Amino acid sequence: MLFEVKPCRFGRGLFATRDIRKGDVILTFTGKIITQDDVDAKPEGKDVNALEINDTSYIDLEEPGVFANHSCNPTAGIYDDRKLIALRDIAPSEEVTYDYSTSVDGGWTMPCACGENDCVGYVCDFKDLPREKQERYLGLDVVMSYIAKQYIKIS
């Protein structure tokens, strides 16, 4: 296994158990496919851990993917809408994180406490990220396809 679930400041997180090389697939997100109505029906106060995969559907994340935390300077990104891949080499004991904004396009925000130097202060829709970040993530192919297609220029 490339990672283990360990306690962290956000509760639990994914941490590398060995060197993970840039481009390695770390995990594939799994869970039941649910709708916005299902997300909205989650009990008040219960964490909603749904990964938006298109305009109307989400993956109700299962373990271990549910423990992948957000960072404004992530070590990983979502490739091919379900695979978490390393964006750079990740050292043993380093947390595996991704930028939640690469999978959000519905007006959702939450405060960010990642503590990175370039922290935006909140997690937002992809369209609200600084342009440089958008271009970087699009160039790395780690933006959900339903969002990325809005940014593809047809020549």
Report which of 154, 132, 134, 130 is spatially closest to residue 143, judged by C-alpha positions: 134
Mean pLDDT of the chain: 92
Q: Give pLDDT < 50 ranges for the chain.
A: 155
The neighbour count for residue 111, using CB atoms within 10 Å, is 7
Q: Which runs of consecutive H residues, i.e. helices, occur in 20-130?
A: 36-40
CATH code of the domain occupying 3-148: 2.170.270.10
* Per-domain residue ranges of the chain: 3-148
Beta carbons of 57 and 114 less than 8 angstroms apart: no
Read off the amino acid at residue 42.
Answer: K
Cα first-last separation, the chain? 43
Read off the amino acid at residue 111.
Answer: P
pLDDT value at residue 40: 85
pLDDT value at residue 155: 43
Q: Which runs of consecutive H residues, i.e. helices, occur in 13-154?
A: 36-40, 131-140, 145-148
Query: What's the CA gap between 33 and 54, in Å, rounded?
Result: 11
